[in-house]
Chains A and B, each alone.
Chain A
């Protein structure tokens, strides 16, 4: 694996690190300007991740859908597609897994995989449509996936309202046999909402890595992402690869939704807006340089920031939204890596 990476490895690691540093640094300035003490703020944030097994459990719980959403974005990106539709795929995946979780009554060994699979299939279906339109009509996937997000949101709400509603603007709870929740994990982490989903997420990382870098299909997907013309010349079916990529990407996103439905909540609420996980997935994939390991690490950073922010608000009084700003800035700096590279080259030159 190491041999596959070119010399630019240091550079590819340093850009995300610089971006994270700049984001956190500007976050500190914002705190300072707003009359907060950044040191107090950030130390409260860090305590909110590490100081208690509860916080750690919550962080890992938060990471689970982030990892899967990040994998979804990263996988599509490797085939040259920008899947902005993770949000919608996640919603339909959530709904499908909860539906299976409520409707069927089976032994857990069957029921749980079936519920997760239902989520994956629903997400894959939602990814299939933009993939198909891209492959057959060259319609840009970004716009279609954005539109699909809203269709998913309103449709899922309508389905819940019409068929699955219980008091509290939500569906009923899933059967225990389809649940990922674990009394053991909860008791280990001071009754956080940690569930077995993180095992699924880590497995998904391995699957993504294996498909992309170890199989002939992954070779094709990457070739199509880098150069469609050459792929076609080499006898690969570009259209089918685009569709397949969106299917797999949507599948990851659907599983992310299943983690929420089967793990964190055990039901699905009527959503007033997006969960934001889909867009977080873009941030995760971008910061993780579209690699499995990178996605895992970036999810830990963003998951930690989001959970730690709660403690930052309660202990240091800094609004949790500061974390949103920091995440936005990190995306901004990673996306603007051209300028970071440029500055680094400048500095290097002067050294010589």
Chain B
């Protein structure tokens, strides 16, 4: 057999958990092989074992038939294994060439021979159709370009086995198409590719075979041509998944949030939201779809007062929010489950109790005349922990000690408990397992049924399609279209997300 990589019966333990349990992955020469699994299933651990960052407890690795011990990334490099990291490993202030050659620089009289290096980079980039300017600084080129540099880094070192770690998460649809083209060119040139992903569509369109892992266990390897998305999904989750969520049709009432003509700048001073209009009604869930980086985060930050509004108005129950401080916005009746729960949602070293009053600590009964009332704070926390089924040893436990799902439940408890008229849920299920996802979706729908307006922002189309009542698609800072969730499909949304406005607009209504 001509396997270039064989990872046989790999087992990797961390204190308290088995991250990889008896996983086998075999990569044929010249194929694109998908590694599929839910968040936390153990994909990254397995690849870090292959790349030499972790040592497995059991199992063997063979490269081109020979048994090897990969104890650090240098050995992986020498074996021709290259990794295209999800979070780019690039020095912003260096040029493309400097990033590619560092650690392995051509020299002339002890000086880095940048000219020669740039020429080599140019030659490789031509050969694989990866055009980049070798003298450009990383901080000045687009995300798609930066990814090319990541690929070039591995090729410059002579890698012929490339691992792509969730490479499409940060790309626009066009960039994804380009990347697929690049991957096909690489394979045609004799390279072999492992693609780590949890996106079924990508696997169907580009991969030859697919290895599925679930909760650290190897489930099996299938030929992509002999399977379909539903079968892959079932393998990944472990049961027939009908991602459809049980819900009754929405009964939308009056408009709660009215955004009109809103323009917001991002942190670099570029317009991220451009003259945007959007209405959300009581009793409905509005899904906000779009490729990452099309202004969704900026829109939410503007609504919640975390980002300055450039122009336009945001009205909650006919009251203007623009110009209000975040605290006033919160007080006027907005709940916000933030995108990044560790960065924004929680103070990880505070106890659950202290986190529960993060926005209300200054109000009675949690404090009086600026003096905190801990008994009341912890009593409230205890109640919410019970009501929302947050699994924690106690309300005094630091938030850090909880699992991701339970941290998210604590945040949702806090935000929902304030009974806001308008609830924002930004990527509420990112990184969670299917069980937690289902419970969070149910919670959002029950809030809707209580008559609240819900804005659900997600990068996962499935989530948007299943939970929302209406779907607004955002592209380059504008809403390109709003469609009814039960009258649309993934394909149509995908087109809209790529900016395809005109053709679809008529049909959707």
- Cα separation A217 to B338 with both chains bound (whole Å): 24
Q: A235-B326, A235-B330 are in contact. Are A216 and B343 (CB under 8 A)?
A: no
Q: How many A-B residue pairs have CB under 8 A?
A: 73
- CB-CB contacts of B300-312 with A at 8 A, as 1s and 0s? 0000101000000
Does A216 lie within 8 Å of B325, measured CB to CB? Answer: no
- Cα separation A222 to B361 with both chains bound (whole Å): 13
- CB-CB contacts of A1-44 with B at 8 A, as 1s and 0s? 00110100000000000000000000000000000000000000
Q: In the complex, identify which listed stretch (B112-120, B170-178, B365-373) lies at the interface while the others stay far away.
A: B365-373
Interface size on A, residues (CB 8 A): 23
Q: How far is the CB of B410 from chain A (nearest CB, A)?
A: 13
Q: Nearest A residue to B345 by beta-carbon distance?
A: A230
Interface size on B, residues (CB 8 A): 34
Q: Nearest A residue to B363 by beta-carbon distance?
A: A216
Is the CB of A232 closer than 8 A to any CB of chain B? yes
Is the CB of A223 closer than 8 A to any CB of chain B? yes
Q: In the complex, identify which listed stretch (B45-53, B253-261, B271-279, B350-358) lies at the interface while the others stay far away.
A: B350-358
Q: A230-B346, A235-B325 are in contact. Are A216 and B362 (CB under 8 A)?
A: yes
Does B359 lie within 8 Å of A223, measured CB to CB? Answer: no
Q: Considering the complex, which residues of chain B in the window 329-351 have a beta carbon less than 8 Å from any beta carbon of chain A?
A: 329-330, 336, 338, 340, 343-351
Q: Nearest A residue to B378 by beta-carbon distance?
A: A3
A-side contacts of B348, CB under 8 Å = 226-227
Is the CB of A275 closer than 8 A to any CB of chain B? no
Is the CB of B396 closer than 8 A to any CB of chain A? yes
Q: Considering the complex, which residues of chain A in the window 176-224 have a beta carbon less than 8 Å from any beta carbon of chain B?
A: 214-220, 222-223
A-side contacts of B73, CB under 8 Å = none
A-side contacts of B361, CB under 8 Å = 216, 219-220
A-side contacts of B340, CB under 8 Å = 229
Q: How far is the CB of B304 from chain A (nearest CB, A)?
A: 8
Does B336 lie within 8 Å of A233, measured CB to CB? Answer: yes
Q: A215-B370, A230-B358 are in contact. Are A223 and B350 (CB under 8 A)?
A: yes
Q: Considering the complex, which residues of chain A in the window 245-298 have a beta carbon less than 8 Å from any beta carbon of chain B?
A: none
- Cα separation A332 to B367 with both chains bound (whole Å): 40
A-side contacts of B338, CB under 8 Å = 233
Is the CB of A347 closer than 8 A to any CB of chain B? no
Does A215 lie within 8 Å of B358, measured CB to CB? Answer: no
Majority-rule SS of A interface residues: helix
Q: How far is the CB of B8 from chain A (nearest CB, A)?
A: 30
Is the CB of A352 closer than 8 A to any CB of chain B? no
- Cα separation A236 to B347 with both chains bound (whole Å): 13
Does B396 lie within 8 Å of A3, measured CB to CB? Answer: yes
Does B306 lie within 8 Å of A226, measured CB to CB? Answer: no
Q: Considering the complex, which residues of chain B in the window 308-334 have a beta carbon less than 8 Å from any beta carbon of chain A?
A: 325-330
Does A230 lie within 8 Å of B362, measured CB to CB? Answer: no
Q: How far is the CB of B360 from chain A (nearest CB, A)?
A: 9
Of A6, A214, A216, A229, chain B has the most CB atoms within 10 Å of the CB of A216
Q: How far is the CB of B140 from chain A (nearest CB, A)?
A: 22
- Cα separation A234 to B349 with both chains bound (whole Å): 16
A-side contacts of B293, CB under 8 Å = none
A-side contacts of B370, CB under 8 Å = 215-217
- CB-CB contacts of A34-58 with B at 8 A, as 1s and 0s? 0000000000000000000000000
Is the CB of B499 closer than 8 A to any CB of chain A? no
- Cα separation A163 to B378 with both chains bound (whole Å): 57
Q: How far is the CB of B326 from chain A (nearest CB, A)?
A: 4
| A235 interface neighbour in B327, B343, B372, Cβ under 8 Å | B327
Is the CB of A313 closer than 8 A to any CB of chain B? no
| A229 interface neighbour in B325, B344, B351, B362, Cβ under 8 Å | B344
Does A232 lie within 8 Å of B326, measured CB to CB? Answer: yes
- CB-CB contacts of B142-177 with A at 8 A, as 1s and 0s? 000000000000000000000000000000000000
Q: A214-B372, A230-B358 are in contact. Are A223 and B347 (CB under 8 A)?
A: yes
Q: How far is the CB of A245 from chain B (nearest CB, A)?
A: 16
Is the CB of A231 closer than 8 A to any CB of chain B? yes
24 A-B pairs within 8 Å (CB atoms) are namely A4-B396, A219-B354, A219-B361, A219-B372, A220-B361, A222-B350, A223-B358, A226-B347, A226-B348, A227-B346, A230-B344, A230-B346, A232-B306, A233-B304, A233-B344, A233-B345, A234-B326, A234-B359, A235-B326, A235-B327, A235-B330, A235-B359, A236-B327, A237-B325
- Closest 4 A/B residue pairs (Cβ): A235-B327, A233-B344, A235-B326, A234-B358
- A: residues with CB less than 8 A from B are 3-4, 6, 214-220, 222-223, 226-227, 229-237
